[in-house]
């Protein structure tokens, strides 16, 4: 890239105004840095737009888990499975799958759960305080979370998760079928049982991004939209310029928070960031005979049901893709049919809004948070898979701790970008 004389110098440049970029920008600005966030679109219009809105430390689990090996072979072959991996000749997919399989063991699971619950618990407290400072602005509600199952296997899986989370100080209660129905009448009778986690919360995802953006700007931070990064300039071990569609920027601290776009971005940066998209859908409907009052996880179908002020959000499915955001009716219908199987819904439900997003997934299910090995002024905060909303404030705090040389809120080692060469 040609050096430009008209470059704008900023103290700290964050690329990406999703929940992750804005959270770290907010944290750094609060800590005395002068931050500019740039985005190719508007804040929160990427994966942070229509997610299930769960802030649930009880789900602070990485994608790869022990015992998934045979299941993951099945996912390669079945486009109707809640997790689907379309077989295709791709070096990235091959490398990703190798890392995914290698992470499926008890030791890696426990190490991931320990740090992911730490940052998720931090986030829950952060959002609670944000809701106190800005009441009624982003739909924050602490109704707990109910996992429900029709079968013995699903209930056992929920119970194992409850036990694992209890070790991390997250309370949960095992319920039988009658107790589940009494707690949530929107569910059809006849379920085997479930687990209720009373401390979990949910919010409106886009409004949460906006609430953070407002605080960030009120503290003096700046957001520049419709500014797409397309190239970089380098000198020695430093990124000297960031070329965008609206000017060239220079900064001693560049934070990459580009979610699922991090892989193409990393190619430009000549670094390794093996992030694939975990495509999922969310559907907004009001076609409920009895509206649910709690967020519900339907274990067998992996469907997340979230009550909203005037409707309900049904979210689910994970299809591993590289930059493919096409919409598949079959996968959306699986969410609707699965929800109807468990809940009192009207026939032929009316869907008010269809959304799909690509969860930024690393092979081991742990985000990359830390400095680049190759570029001394590049810091990553990417790869938050299914947990971006609930881990954003915690990972921002950890990121700022590392940048500012403070004692980190949790063990930073599992997040180190250099495990992928980055």
Ligand X SMILES: Cc1cc2nc3c(=O)[nH]c(=O)nc-3n(C[C@H](O)[C@H](O)[C@H](O)COP(=O)(O)OP(=O)(O)OC[C@H]3O[C@@H](n4cnc5c(N)ncnc54)[C@H](O)[C@@H]3O)c2cc1C
Q: What are the residues whose beta carbons fall under 8 Å from the beta carbon of 269, sequence distance 6 or more? A: 232, 239, 256, 372, 374, 375, 378
Residue 316 Cβ vs ligand X, minimum distance, rounded to whole Å: 7
Q: How would you classify the pairing of strands 312-321 and 276-285?
A: antiparallel
Q: In angstroms, rounded to a whole number, what is the distance separating the alpha carbons of residues 386 and 278?
A: 8
* 357 belongs to the binding site for ligand X (CB under 6 A): yes
> Site map for ligand X, 277-316, x if CB under 6 A?
---xxx--------------------------------x-
Residue 137 Cβ vs ligand X, minimum distance, rounded to whole Å: 18
* 17 belongs to the binding site for ligand X (CB under 6 A): yes
Tell me which DSSP letter residue 123 carries.
H
Residue among 37, 52, 239, 396 that touches ligand X (CB under 6 A): 52
Task: Write out the two tokens for 305.
Answer: 């049901």
The number of angstroms, rounded, from the C-alpha of 411 to the middle of its chain's C-alpha atoms is 20
Q: In angstroms, rounded to a whole number, what is the distance separating the alpha carbons of residues 360 and 389?
A: 12
* 47 belongs to the binding site for ligand X (CB under 6 A): yes
The secondary element (H helix, E strand) that includes residue 133 is helix 106-133
- Give the nearer residue to ligand X in terms of CB position, either 53 or 172: 53
Binding span for ligand X by CB under 6 A among 256-264, 284-292, 320-328, 393-401: 256-264
CB 298 within 8 A of CB 338: yes
Residue 381 Cβ vs ligand X, minimum distance, rounded to whole Å: 8
Residue among 39, 200, 204, 401 that touches ligand X (CB under 6 A): 39
* 248 belongs to the binding site for ligand X (CB under 6 A): no
Give the length of the chain: 422
- Give the nearer residue to ligand X in terms of CB position, either 177 or 370: 370
The pairs formed by 135-138 with CB atoms below 8 angstroms and a separation of 24 or more are 137/207, 137/210, 137/211, 138/203, 138/204, 138/207, 138/208, 138/210, 138/211
Number of residues that bind ligand X (CB under 6 A): 41
Residue among 186, 389, 398, 403 that touches ligand X (CB under 6 A): 389
* 241 belongs to the binding site for ligand X (CB under 6 A): no
The site for ligand X (CB under 6 A) is made up of: 15-21, 38-41, 45-48, 51-54, 228-229, 257-261, 265, 280-282, 315, 357, 359-360, 384-390
């Amino acid at each position: 890239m040609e050096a430009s004389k008209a470059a704008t110098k900023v103290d700290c440049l964050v690329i990406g105004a999703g929940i992750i970029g804005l959270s770290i920008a907010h944290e750094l600005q609060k800590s005395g840095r002068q931050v500019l966030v740039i985005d190719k679109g508007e804040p929160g219009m990427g994966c942070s737009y229509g997610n299930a809105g769960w802030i649930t430390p009880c789900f602070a689990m990485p994608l790869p888990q022990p015992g998934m090996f045979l299941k993951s072979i099945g996912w390669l072959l079945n486009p109707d499975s809640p997790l689907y991996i379309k077989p295709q000749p791709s070096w990235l997919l091959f490398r990703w799958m190798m890392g995914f399989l290698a992470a499926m063991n008890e030791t890696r699971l426990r190490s991931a759960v320990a740090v992911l619950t730490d940052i998720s618990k931090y986030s829950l407290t952060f959002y609670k305080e944000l809701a106190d400072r800005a009441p009624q602005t982003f739909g924050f509600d602490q109704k707990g979370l109910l996992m429900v199952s029709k079968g013995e296997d699903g209930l056992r899986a929920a119970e194992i998760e409850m036990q694992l989370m209890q070790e991390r100080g997250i309370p949960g209660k095992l319920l039988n079928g009658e107790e589940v129905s009494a707690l949530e009448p929107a569910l059809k009778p006849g379920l085997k049982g479930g687990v209720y986690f009373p401390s979990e919360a949910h919010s409106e995802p886009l409004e949460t991004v906006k609430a953070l953006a407002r605080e960030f700007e009120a503290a003096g931070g700046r957001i520049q939209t419709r500014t797409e990064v397309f190239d970089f300039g380098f000198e020695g071990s430093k990124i000297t310029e960031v070329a965008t569609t609206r000017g060239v920027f220079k900064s001693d601290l560049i934070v990459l928070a580009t979610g699922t776009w991090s892989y193409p971005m990393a190619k430009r940066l000549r670094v390794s960031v093996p992030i694939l998209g975990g495509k999922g859908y969310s559907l907004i409907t009001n076609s409920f005979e009895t509206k649910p009052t709690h967020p519900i996880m339907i274990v067998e179908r992996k469907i997340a049901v979230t009550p909203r002020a005037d409707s309900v959000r049904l979210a689910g499915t994970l299809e591993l893709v590289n930059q493919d955001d096409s919409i598949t009716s079959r996968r959306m219908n699986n969410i609707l049919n699965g929800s109807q199987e468990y809940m009192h819904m009207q026939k032929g439900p009316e869907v008010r809004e269809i959304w799909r997003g690509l969860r930024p997934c690393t092979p081991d299910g742990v985000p990359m948070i830390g400095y680049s090995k190759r570029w001394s002024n590049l810091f990553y905060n990417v790869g938050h898979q299914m947990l971006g909303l609930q881990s954003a404030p915690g990972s921002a705090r950890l990121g700022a701790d590392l940048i500012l040389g403070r004692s980190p809120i949790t063990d930073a080692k599992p997040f180190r970008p250099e495990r992928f060469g980055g």
